[in-house]
């Protein structure tokens, strides 16, 4: 389906009688050689498919006999990430590693739907030949990730030795070393008790493979320690600031655990969608600030680890970025204050 010209290709399909009533993603996968159903679903969601002249984003869209499908296959992208001049907030850097303060909205690694403008592209531009080689390639050594819409502190290895040593620390989750991962979040409601350890099994949701969920069995153990530092409002309008410390590092762990408790992260459209209407009960300034946030109110505020070369314990902190700080300011003075959200990140 792809040529070497670097340009997009158009494909037209007339729905056969045998495909009447079938889903759009199914018909595409049956008619496009070499394209998986997942790939077809990505093309639909990204707006590359039209049916009878109308762009369709719903993979389950039902087709009728003689419907006209028009597909614009995007040009293939290079399998190797390219260096791109993207500003970085660098907290620390030496020959072995670099510590950055990731802004919200920045994807860590190129992937379908985000082929460039990622942290990896930025690091390739900033570090260039300073990468000593990881796995035989001059590339950043990603040892942990933050979701696209989660901000905060990240460490990246620049050498294979550093990558191996840091990866071992993250795999150990700080049980035998100084690794520490602390997060700050704004959540709906007032957790009771105000501090606790959440210890569950987490795995893919049975009915939505894009989500994680707490499972009764057959998941992977996930442990999150949290404590409430202050709260605003009561009942329907209650919001709390919490600190979370990870003892494991599962996908979306904090977001899943807090939602499981009934206190999802503000702005979380995946795990807190059912709480979105609560924003109308917030003070007007806070509701407007939350609307402007346009992401989950979660920030990697603290990261500690042993330097992979010297063994020195290193600790880095980051206050909430401007968009999250604006929500905190708009909420006003806390009704119940246990600490300072900007300082007491444990």
Tokens at 27, concatenated = 């018909």
The whole-angstrom separation of Cα 322 and Cα 311 is 34
| DSSP-derived secondary structure letter, 111 | B
The whole-angstrom separation of Cα 118 and Cα 110 is 6
Q: Which helix (H) or strand (E) holds 196?
A: strand 195-205
Closest CA to 182 of 299, 328, 321: 299
The whole-angstrom separation of Cα 138 and Cα 159 is 9
Catalytic member of 46, 67, 129, 147: 147
| CA atoms within a 13 Å half-sphere pointing along the CA-CB vector of 263 | 26
Q: Considering only CA atoms, give the Rg of the chain.
A: 23
The whole-angstrom separation of Cα 13 and Cα 32 is 10
- Answer yes or no: 147 catalytic: yes
| DSSP-derived secondary structure letter, 17 | G
> What are the catalytic residues?
147
């Amino acid at each position: 389906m792809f040529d070497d010209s670097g340009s997009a290709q158009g494909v037209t399909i007339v729905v056969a009688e045998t495909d009447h009533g079938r889903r759009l993603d199914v018909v595409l996968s049956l008619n496009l050689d070499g394209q998986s159903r997942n790939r077809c679903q990505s093309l639909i969601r990204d707006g590359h498919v039209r049916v009878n002249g109308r762009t369709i984003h719903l993979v389950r869209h039902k087709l009728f006999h003689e419907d006209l499908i028009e597909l614009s296959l995007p040009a293939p992208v290079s399998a190797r990430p390219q260096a791109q001049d993207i500003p970085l907030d660098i907290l620390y850097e030496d020959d072995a590693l670099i510590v950055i303060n990731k802004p919200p909205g920045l994807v860590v690694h190129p992937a379908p739907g985000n082929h460039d403008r990622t942290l990896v592209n930025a690091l390739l531009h900033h570090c260039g030949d300073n990468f000593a080689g990881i796995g035989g390639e001059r590339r950043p050594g990603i040892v942990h990730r933050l979701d696209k819409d989660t901000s905060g502190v990240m460490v990246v290895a620049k050498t294979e030795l550093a990558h191996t040593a840091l990866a071992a620390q993250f795999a150990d989750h700080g049980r035998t070393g100084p690794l520490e991962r602390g997060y700050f979040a704004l959540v709906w409601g007032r957790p009771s008790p105000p501090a606790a350890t959440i210890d569950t099994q987490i795995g893919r949701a049975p009915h939505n493979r894009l989500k994680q969920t707490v499972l009764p069995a057959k998941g992977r153990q996930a442990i999150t320690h949290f404590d409430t530092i202050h709260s605003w409002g009561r009942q329907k309008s209650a919001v709390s600031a919490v600190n979370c410390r990870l003892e494991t590092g599962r996908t979306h762990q904090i977001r899943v655990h807090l939602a499981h408790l009934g206190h999802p992260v503000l702005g979380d459209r995946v795990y807190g969608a059912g709480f979105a209407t609560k924003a109308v009960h917030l003070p007007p300034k806070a509701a407007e600030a939350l609307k402007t946030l346009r992401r989950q109110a979660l920030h990697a505020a603290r990261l500690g680890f042993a330097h992979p070369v010297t063994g020195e314990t290193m600790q880095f902190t980051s206050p909430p970025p401007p968009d999250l700080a604006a929500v905190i300011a708009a909420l006003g003075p806390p009704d119940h204050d246990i600490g300072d959200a900007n300082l007491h990140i444990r």
